[in-house]
Structure 1
């Protein structure tokens, strides 16, 4: 949840009075009256509160300077090399200021380029804690090059960095083809740290064409101070921004750099327009907009036929990304007259990265396949944490469930209406005056009893814990943090104080390892009174959100651990908050149990610590529609465990929209219904019997597919494969799939096309793959691939297709929660390819502990169907996990003729005949009442 734009932004930002909201018996009403947080319906996000490019000084400076010719030259006679890197100087021809460039080869076809001042006045910020500790460098060898160039190759020799001295440029060459060029547009930009002089600039500076030091221009370019509204950002080290361009040859399709409410494929940016990466609390964010919202992953992927690349720009300060695609031109005249020749000009996309501070630290992921790029990125930042099984079920949330009785009644409502769910959520009102790690004694007098009620049905509780801490010396969390100096400081040295939900608040400095260690300890059962081992955590407002701050966030000159300014690390603050929370949940179980932590703010590597959602969306069809590309973008940038608030957080969905959102959410990784405080209650049974039935069916479909979901998350965890996938990942050679964002794959087996238009009676579904067949999961209709089909839809229909050649494991019995389904039977949905074959996998462990790592307590099975035989075999011999479960149902789609017999065969046993039902109309074979051990080898023979 978050804040909305107040109608009079300047007055509200400047208001000096009442650092705490007026007293009220209803805290939310007091806030609403005092700040007018909620927007008027359909009002756009107030640009007086949030910046666009014209308000960002470092953007203006770079654009002004880069209108001139590149001034950088590599000094190749300065080259030195060791086992890890090759280093050389880059000189600015105008200022003669030297930079130090370092090129690294990293295992897995990755190159790293770092550029820093050779001798900065003080160290520049380099992002810690994001990269995994397992990075292994590859020695780069110097190959032949002329006097003005240097060629570096990895050990295999098929990848080369060709460095040109004047002007400085780097070409990345693969198999003699230049696939990427760096600084070919001359947009390398590096502002050196300075000491501010009181007097007029020296003659040398005046002569420097790159810096206009006139007073008027200094103010306009924000060199030492930058104004926005009533806020003044004082920069003690002066301007320190950086920038660099990358040209991707032959590429027109780029994806990534979340988070924006935008299309999955990145769009061209014009003058004064760029994708902004700056974590902000934007309530009811505008869709189809490039402004930054809650999280930032400075990583993009480029894809074309035969090649996928990635660029990971490791910088945690405010970052802007410009994109310009020059599409392919078929023919161009290269000569005139009789000898005129025609030549194909390939497409190119130029990407320009600009950051406010830090160093240039960029990783080039060379693929060549999408799968390779995913592995390369996870090698750098880690894979998606394997979530506890319960967290893949349905979550019920609201700001706020009022009290224990309300929780009890909602919990009972799910049982009464036969709707499974796993997790009840409590928002800020469950605390004592917004003091985290406490309980409102009137509303929640016995939180353990409430949790025991949920435990009795194998359900869990999630509570909110935000980074702002109420200024109150009687509040032990505040008093202890203040005593130990654990808060972010203001630029004058005192504790930073800003307004958030509790009123006047200080903000924990999670960049400090000691603060994270202390905060993790707050989740111990002895410290967090009223908590139990079924309580998990939600980190919100951690951009960080500061209601009276510039852009509703923290001043950039606030001071963190190590004397770093907030501007250096703003985008990584929420990453550290989630890290500390996840570690706390692991510690409280003495390292035995997996955590579940949802965060709103995130950065590259956040996938290691839990889940992410798309923030304060609105109950409108357009927000349902945009949630698909938003989640696809998160998925391809490493964050598989992601979702959008079902129904829309803000406003009141009608019954049709709510049903459609449940249908979509059931097929997206994180599945939570949520709503803000001033909305009507919208539990699934409040919209009439027919709509209750439809929502029940959508949620039950989610639980049916839990074995498949869990297996997908295991693959995301161990093999970096996204759970929710845009079509171009599975069909990298299908050009027509590259821009599709209204449908997606779950794993490699299921294609989902949510209905996102009101009163829809038909949807156009693109089924990719010229050699593929697809089966409608509802009607079993068989479709050929590489075509668009019109699918009739009623309100009870969400088009889902199983890919021919796949086996999908399911649960055949649905319980109250995932925990109630542990021993329920399995089924297999076998969809045959054009060749009559199919393969699939299944992963199982205890669903909650780390025993799958420490003791290899897991089952990993492989299913294959070929020549009429379905085989269950072991996919990983290391795993051992006892399971009472059996496969009781097998359903085979695409079997062209009725078999004469079906038998099962287990090792050491005799063949057993099986009763079957064959439907000639749909070419389906159904086997029921089986009892085949899921963890044992066996075969089913269809003759």
Structure 2
């Protein structure tokens, strides 16, 4: 029999209040895992462990481990009124000495003083709207909300037939800790970052380690996040950079098992009846994204790769010839001289000429410039030696320059990584952007960042187990923070990799999707999953990045999806300009791009709510309709803001298709056809290529702006009057946030509208 070296937390032996924290001393006992069967056993009396010793198939001749307890500290605090923090670690562990923000995930260290009560069997720590109940022996934890409802409990009572516990509450191993929670009979789990499988994670086993996922169908993730949402009424964050494994009813159908590859389990649990409220609590702890500039919500166009300034200016001119609004053109690595997995900020004048003149020429055509980067240096670059000499490159534990892992290098040479924990290195990297920003570059696409090896010694002493997953968070933060500091405007990056906290640095996109229906479906699932754990501004590559030649039908369908996504960018290995797919595709795509621009006043309100309240713009139905038992499983459609229900068409042909979709409770009206629909229930509808179902919730006011053939970009919308479209019984008074940041108070009476503020309101259109 193989004995797994493990310890199970079993008995609370001490309770002490330490300032605003409650520290429990807990005995952890050595345990063995049964050979060939699920179940754990300590050296205690089997009867005390609940073992059914009369069972005829009870394992015999088990060599029990010694009863040699190891002490573990469980420290409980209340992080604001509706969030509890539990830190499980050996005495003296670093996490006990550090503030909650030490890893850069949590940004708010404030805690409330809890109420502490004890009885012979239980220790209870209470905040205003959350309660942690700890059973002394055997150790168990129960979380209750402000109404006294149990929302989470450890799974130690779940056993196999002979009474052996299958999922002890908390276990310690040589290489980590695990927490086991019961899954209720109707409990669904969502989240864990940008995962490309089904939105409901029950039945899945996930390994949360940020990777160059090489697509959306490989089972890996660019932006995993150790945050999950339970329909039982809680949202949880594991405050760690270490690899986290989540077994969501995969090995044991009634158990959510979370294992952290670290000496500590640092867990936050947010309670509240509505998931919107819990996301608000989570983002109060971890920060919220600033509102990006208006032009960020326009249409972006890119290609891997545009080879010259001449080629890009031709694209911009053709956009204008076809009257397609466009705000941003993106330039991938060809702007570099050494451009294979390298960024040294040396501009390729042979291909793109003088940078300032190039940016100015694009500006004359109404387009801003987005520029690609990654945080790696090629030894072939003349700046490599400078960075190495100054100590700006990540080193491994033996002191050598660390080498990029996980992304194949095209020439076999190693690539080095910038150490963003070194303040001088961070500043050096940031200031490389200055001349680009001064010349008018609008935004940087912060690509890659997933390649930090595990055996590194970072300058600030971050433990190696945390370094890999925190690297993309620190990389995107460095660029975003500097854009804000250098320009004085709201920052914007376009990041691929991420971790918990990355939502603070908008925006992110869904990585390298395949140009297939499956790739489009996986992309949406990734965005919905990310929304439940990293709420903010997310997008995707319209048309997918790679794969089979993109069909005109799929290009149109993906453009429709993109037009009603938080941000809108077309990009891929091959051309993504709408005229490349034929006249019919150009006509339909242009109409949807113009529709997006006409809806920018509505998108601006939704974006403002996202920044102010910590909500995603793109929302799963489960977020808005938590009491609907069907909503959690719907991952082929979404809400954009509060009031638009978007139903993408997953098809690559040009003929009409039958689309079956779910209509949530209430009255809805199709934005384009005016047809009224009632929910809840499923509906099937024939959808031609030029249409996609977009339903407006009854009671909504949708501000829109007129978009004609003269609109080149968002600048052309400034100062134009808005038209208010009301659906059903509209609110009598409400505020509108103008593109200039001012607030206009609007009052709608039966026959008139009045507005107090700077935003001109043209008229009210009533939809019945």
Distance 1:557 1:123, change over 3 A: farther
Within 2, Cα distance between the matches of 1:468 and 1:436? 8
2:225 equivalent to 1:301: no
Give 1:462's aligned residue.
370
- Between Structure 1 and Structure 2, how many residues are aligned? 706
Alignment of 1:778-817 (within 5 A): 778-814=672-708, 815-817=711-713
Task: Report the Cα offset of residue 588 of structure 1.
Answer: 1.9
* 584, 595, 616: which one aligns with 2:482: 584
Give the superposition deviation at 1:167.
1.9
Quote the residue 2:85 is aligned against. Answer: 112
Whole-Å Cα distance in 2 between the matches of residues 159 and 606 of structure 1? Answer: 26
Match of 1:280 among 207, 211, 227: 211
Residue pairs, 1:748-787, within 5 angstroms = 748-758=642-652, 759-769=655-665, 772-787=666-681
Query: What secondary structure sits across from 2:351 in the alignment?
Result: coil
Query: For residues 69-84 of structure 1, what are the structure 2 equivalents within 5 Å?
Result: 71-76=8-13, 78-84=14-20
Q: Does 1:701 align with 2:595?
A: yes
Q: Quickly say closer, same or farther: Cα 1:706–1:460, change in 2 above 3 A.
A: same
Give SS of 2:395's match: coil
> Does the 8 Å CA contact 1:395/1:423 hold for their aligned counterparts?
yes
Contact 1:767 1:787 in 2 (8 A): yes
Post-superposition offset of 1:870 = 5.6
Q: What are the residue-to-residue correspondences of 1:304-315 with 2, within 5 Å?
A: 304=232, 308-315=233-240
* Partner residue in 1 for 2:499: 603
Asked if residue 447 in structure 1 is aligned to residue 352 in structure 2, the reply is no
- TM-aligned CA deviation for residue 101 of structure 1: 1.2
State the TM-score, normalized to the length of structure 2.
0.87
Equivalent residue number for residue 656 of structure 1 = 553
Q: Are 2:28 and 1:92 aligned?
A: yes
Corresponding residue of 1:617: 513
SS in structure 1 at match of 2:494: strand
Q: Report the alpha carbon displacement of residue 275 of structure 1 after superposing the two structures with TM.
A: 0.6
How far apart are the structure 1 equivalents of 2:651 and 2:97? 50
Match 1:164 to one of 116, 126, 135: 135
Query: Post-superposition shift, 1:433?
Result: 1.2
Q: Secondary structure at the match of 2:352?
A: coil
Match of 2:329 among 392, 399, 424: 424
Distance in 2 (CA, whole Å) between partners of 1:64 and 1:292 is 28
**For the residues of structure 2 that align with 1:863 and 1:628, how far apart are their CA atoms?**
35
C-alpha distance in 2 between matches for 1:426 and 1:117: 50
Q: TM-score if structure 1 supplies the norm length?
A: 0.71
Cα distance in 1 between the residues matched to 2:251 and 2:8: 25
Whole-Å Cα distance in 2 between the matches of residues 310 and 588 of structure 1?
Answer: 36
Aligned to 1:560: 458
After superposition, what is the alpha-carbon deviation per residue over 1:624-667, rounded to whole angstroms, capped at 9, x for unaligned? 12222211111222332111211010032110000000001111
1:735 to 629, 639, 648: 629
Within 2, Cα distance between the matches of 1:664 and 1:411? 23
Query: SS of 1:93's equivalent?
Result: strand
Evaluate the alpha carbon distance shift between residue 840 and residue 500 of structure 1 in structure 2; reply closer, same or farther with a 3 A threshold.
farther
- What's the CA shift string for 1:551-576, capped at 9, x where partnerless? xxx43212212344543221111110
Give the Å deviation of 1:889: 3.7
Asked if the contact 1:315–1:358 (Cα under 8 Å) also holds between the matched residues in 2, the reply is no
Task: Name 1:853's counterpart in structure 2.
Answer: none
| 1:178 counterpart (141, 145, 150) | 150
1:322 matched to 2:247? The reply is yes
- Contact 1:457–1:817 under 8 Å retained in 2: no
Aligned to 1:253: 188
Distance (Å, rounded) in 2 between the aligned partners of 1:645 and 1:509: 29
Tell me how far apart the structure 1 counterparts of residues 453 and 276 of structure 2 sit (CA, whole Å): 40
**Which of 532, 543, 546 does residue 636 from structure 1 map onto?**
532
Cα displacement (A) at 1:248: 4.7
User: Shift in Å at residue 798 of structure 1?
Assistant: 0.8
Tell whether 2:50 aligns with 1:142.
Answer: no
Change (3 A) 1:509 1:251: farther
Verify: 1:356 aligned to 2:284, yes or no: no
User: What do residues 492-515 of structure 1 show as CA deviations (whole Å, max 9, x unaligned)?
Assistant: 212123474684321111233433
Matches of 1:394 and 1:566, distance apart in 2: 40
In 2, distance between residues paired with 1:402 and 1:787? 50
Q: What's the secondary structure of 1:738's corresponding residue?
A: helix
Take 1:621 and 1:64, find their aligned partners in 2: how far apart are those partners?
A: 45
Contact 1:457 1:820 in 2 (8 A): no
CA distance in 1, matches of 2:393, 2:137: 48
Find the aligned partners of 1:602 and 1:475 in 2 and give their Cα distance: 29
CA contact (8 A) 2:606 2:642 kept: no
Match of 2:565 among 646, 657, 668: 668
Q: Which structure's CA Rg is the greater one?
A: 1
Q: Unpaired runs of 5+ in structure 1? A: 1-60, 192-238, 328-347, 545-553, 847-857, 875-881, 895-943
Counterpart-to-counterpart distance in 1, 2:251 and 2:377: 50
1:244 matched to which residue of 2? 179
2:742 alignment partner in structure 1: 859
Q: Secondary structure at the match of 1:443?
A: helix
Check whether the contact 1:358–1:568 (CA below 8 A) recurs between aligned residues: no
What's the RMSD between the two structures over aligned residues?
A: 2.6
| Structure 1 ranges of 4+ moved more than 6 A | 121-127
* CA drift at 1:823: 1.9
Within 1, Cα distance between the matches of 2:762 and 2:352?
44
The yes-or-no answer on 1:475 pairing with 2:382 is: yes
